[in-house]
Amino acid sequence: MPKATAVWLVDNTSMTFDQIADFCGLHPLEVKGIADGEVARDIRGADPIANGQLTREELDHAQADPNYRMKAQKSRHAEVLKPAKKAPRYTPVSRRQDRPDAIAWFVRNHPEVTDAQIAKALGTTKSTIDQVRNRTHWNSVNIKPVDPVSLGLISQLELDALVRLAAEKKRRDDARRKVEEPEGPTLAEPVEHVEPVEAHEDEDSEV
């Protein structure tokens, strides 16, 4: 996924924040936050060379020239990312107890990923996702966010593709929302302020 790749590039290369941000589709300030330890602290770095995203030559070129922008190569595993009808994901019984941890990881680190996408990726249900999010799950006390790749519930390639699709959808939705919203803030109708009326004793009523 983009953040995991950015974590690896920050830790293992001399590339600039702008270069890393451009390659990973992040904001330079977000990359700076990763370098400062303020962002993605619980995300394990993913080697883009091992994942087939980059060649060593491309990485060396970028480190030698701060103005160079790396180009991702087509992964030899691209077939995995092609949309195809799949049977419901089967999760071994021994790993099913790990799914709530993976759900919590998605909820905390990637809120842009929809419940439907999480359910499909992990082979779980929307009701279980709601229970984890709202901490009403029967095992909430023991649930801790854990990277689903390290749990063996999903591959790094599948996770990268899922996060990328969710981010693109969020950008489109945000752009559409800006178009639909009226320009400038809408003023609320003024509320008339009524001064309290003090009660006065009628002096003439006293005898």
pLDDT, averaged per 10 consecutive residues of the chain (207 residues), comes to 84 90 88 83 82 86 90 60 52 66 93 92 91 91 91 89 90 79 52 55 49
Among 73, 108, 125, the domain-final residue is 73
Domain for residue 43, yes or no?
A: yes
Is there a single domain that holds both residue 85 and residue 66?
no
Domain for residue 39, yes or no?
A: yes
Is there a single domain that holds both residue 24 and residue 59?
yes
pLDDT value of position 81: 46
Domain range for 147: 77-182
Other CB atoms closer than 10 Å to residue 163's CB: what's the count? 21
pLDDT value of position 100: 93
Is there a single domain that holds both residue 89 and residue 46?
no
Q: Give how many domains the chain has, as a whole number.
A: 2
Tokens of 94: 């021994």
Measured in whole angstroms, the distance separating CA 93 from the mean position of its chain's CA atoms is 28
SS3 73: coil
pLDDT value of position 36: 85
Domain for residue 196, yes or no?
A: no
